[in-house]
Amino acid sequence: MMNSIRGSIREVLEVSAVFIAVGLTFTAVSVLTSDIHFKIGTFRPIYSIPPHLVALSAMGLAVGFATSLFSIRFSMRPVILSVVLMLLFDLDHIPAALGIPQPIRPAHSLLFLGVVVLAELILLKKPIETGVLIGAAFLGHLAVDTGLFPLFYPFSMQYYALNSIYPWLYVSAFVLAIMAGLLTRFNTRPPNFVRN
């Protein structure tokens, strides 16, 4: 039991480290290369942060439990990982928190999602279900967030309001979470969710 917990924590930290490195790099590049007209990102009021973190964490728990329930055996690994990832998508707010002008949410783009998934699969040699869970966390994060999103950044600085598709974001997040669980179930390797 203790080895399982230690293994889960170690593996979540590995995935998180790569996610953080890609997220901070992506954010730094956006701050350094974006035209001043697009640097309109602001930091949310401090009083609104705790409820937002609770909502993101709750969504992360739900996505992780859905993944775990559909895998071969229940594991806390996808639960912990999905909560952590759900929160890490907001690393791109760090410049605004420090008072540095930045574009709105550069890590809330499809390119960032693709880069971070590829980094996890190639650098850490994680199984495809890890990438699918990252996709579920991304969609879940967008479902909980409000405001504008640069979905095609850096190819386009157009911002999109997703209010009209929030229900579909929730559904899509859970579909991907279930797919991640089923991929774990039917994978021929041992049934640990986040493997080396």
Q: Which whole number is the average pLDDT over 72-94?
A: 91
Instruction: Please confirm whether the linkage preceding 103 is cis (ω < 30° from 0).
Output: no
pLDDT for residue 74: 84
Q: How confident is the model at residue 187 (pLDDT cuts 50, 70, 90)?
A: confident
Position 97 pLDDT exceeds 90: no
pLDDT confidence of 1, banded at 50, 70, 90?
A: low
Would the pLDDT of 191 be above 50? Answer: no
Task: Give residue-wise pLDDT tens across range 117-134.
Answer: 999 999 999 999 999 999
Query: How many CB atoms are closer than 10 A to CB 114?
Result: 12
Instruction: Report the alpha-carbon distance of residue 94 to residue 132 in Å, rounded.
Output: 26
pLDDT, one tens digit per residue, over 9-49 is: 888 999 999 999 999 999 998 888 877 666 666 666 677 77
pTM: 0.88
Give exposure, 1-37, as e/b (b: 16+ Cβ within 10 Å): eeeeeeebeebbebbbebbeebbeebbeebbeebeee
Q: What is the pLDDT of residue 2?
A: 61
Q: CB neighbours of 196 closer than 8 A, spacing ≥ 6?
A: 11, 124, 125, 126
3-class secondary structure per residue, the chain: CHHHHHHHHHHHHHHHHHHHHHHHHHHHHHHHHCCHHHCCCCCCCHHHHHHHHHHHHHHHHHHHHHHHHHCCCCCCHHHHHHHHHHHHHHHHHHHHHCCCCCCCCCCCCHHHHHHHHHHHHHHCCCCHHHHHHHHHHHHHHHHHCCCEECCCCCCCCCCEECHHHHHHHHHHHHHHHHHHHHHHHHCCCCCCCCCC
